[in-house]
Amino acid sequence: MEYVESEEFVKQHHTNFRVLSKLLSSEFGTDLKMATSDKQSSPKPPPSPSPLRNSKFFQSNMRILISGGAGFIGSHLVDKLMENEKNEVVVADNYFTGSKDNLKKWIGHPRFELIRHDVTEPLLIEVDQIYHLACPASPIFYKYNPVKTIKTNVIGTLNMLGLAKRVGARILLTSTSEVYGDPLIHPQPESYWGNVNPIGVRSCYDEGKRVAETLMFDYHRQHGIEIRIARIFNTYGPRMNIDDGRVVSNFIAQALRGEALTVQKPGTQTRSFCYVSDMVDGLMRLMEGDDTGPINIGNPGEFTMVELAETVKELINPSIEIKMVENTPDDPRQRKPDITKAKEVLGWEPKVKLREGLPLMEEDFRQRLGVPKNK
């Protein structure tokens, strides 16, 4: 039997279609237009922050969120930001690798707030700037829980970007030199796309940060979010976790305990080490500047692992030996930042040399390990 639509049915069908079209265009209009347009439009203007910011009767402080602010670099960033009396600092941390001890001098301060929070869950607060540092950065921690690591990088970054979109905040992501993988170009400029193993034991961190960078730029282009991306290289200094699997902290802890310094074979692989105060200075300059990044922030002074071990031995405990051990998979052979862009755009370059920074870190480790200095 042939089915014939009634005139009433056709009218109702067209009405429903028009209503649905209006709903879709109001909810997803921007997305649909961008998806169907052949030409890439310029980024949207950034969302407006709270109207109070423009009130001549209200002199508000800059309210700054640091995710992962109880960690090594995050806590030093808190110290520097709190020096400015116009800053209110909010730290969100789940203490997976961070510690309240790193922030004890600020707990109870009227311009400081500490929230126990995991960034894989949404956070609803009002802020003007977001420093998104939350993520395990040590191989021991991210290999212990790789799924949590990649969730922090992907879902955590989505949540922080969602917050930035809601309140019109500028957001800075601390990405990593690990996005370059085992580099085929030396030193590594920001234009290099990298050589990363997507299924290795380190991929949860390496690829997680690469996805985080992608999300940052997608939110910037699609929603007009003000973004900044820092690719940070090896950083060292006080408050690093002892025995966290990173080479400087391992060597100093071993030297203070009188243990052999374990250098992973072949010992000729290189790293560049930036003292934490220089790193914090670079991050703040990037946040306050006009460039989205990514920008390499690190010390271009390059050392082999054997050279680093010999320096630690000389400065801390000349009586210990250096022992070669097997290497871990996917360990990059070379790591050295090209900081030309940081110099040109931020006017930044590191000031603290390795031989100046190591004794400062040694003093902190001696206090925490309870090892007095020989007179």
Superfamily the domain 61-369 falls into: NAD(P)-binding Rossmann-like Domain (3.40.50.720)
> How many angstroms from the chain centroid is the CA of residue 119?
13
> How many angstroms from the chain centroid is the CA of residue 158?
13
Q: Which residues contact 366 (CB under 8 A, 6 or more apart)?
A: 256, 372, 373
Q: Judge whether 167 and 50 are in contact, CB under 8 Å.
A: yes
Strand, helix or coil for residue 89: strand
CA distances to 186, 204, 327 from 270, rounded to whole Å, are 11, 22, 13
Q: What is the residue type of 145?
A: N
Strand, helix or coil for residue 329: coil
How far apart are the C-alpha atoms of 63 and 111, rounded to whole Å? Answer: 9
Q: Which pair of structure tokens corresponds to residue 38?
A: 């052949």
pLDDT one-digit tens code per residue, 180-205: 988 888 899 999 999 999 998 889 99
Residues belonging to the active site: 205
For residue 37, what pLDDT is reported? Answer: 43
DSSP 8-state assignment for residue 372: P
Q: Judge whether 300 and 348 are in contact, CB under 8 Å.
A: no
Is the overall model pTM greater than 0.85, yes or no?
no
Looking up tokens 């109702």 gives: 12
Q: Within 13 A of 324's CA, how many CA atoms are on the CB side?
A: 6
pLDDT one-digit tens code per residue, 329-364: 766 777 889 999 999 999 999 999 999 999 999 999
**From the first residue on, what is the mean pLDDT of each consecutive set of 10 residues in the chain (375 residues)?**
51 57 50 44 73 60 95 97 95 94 96 97 96 89 89 97 96 95 89 92 93 98 97 94 85 93 88 95 97 96 92 93 82 84 97 94 92 77
Q: Which residues pair with 264 in a beta bridge?
A: 325
Q: Judge whether 318 and 197 are in contact, CB under 8 Å.
A: no
Q: Which pair of structure tokens corresponds to residue 212?
A: 């985080």
Helix, strand and coil content of the chain, in percent to the nearest 5, comes to 45, 15, 40
Q: How many CB atoms lie within 10 A of CB 171?
A: 26
What are the domain boundaries of the chain? 61-369
DSSP 8-state assignment for residue 274: E
Q: What is the DSSP string of 230-271?
A: EEE--EE-TTPPTTSS-HHHHHHHHHHHTPPEEEETTS--EE
How far apart are the C-alpha atoms of 88 and 128, rounded to whole Å? Answer: 10
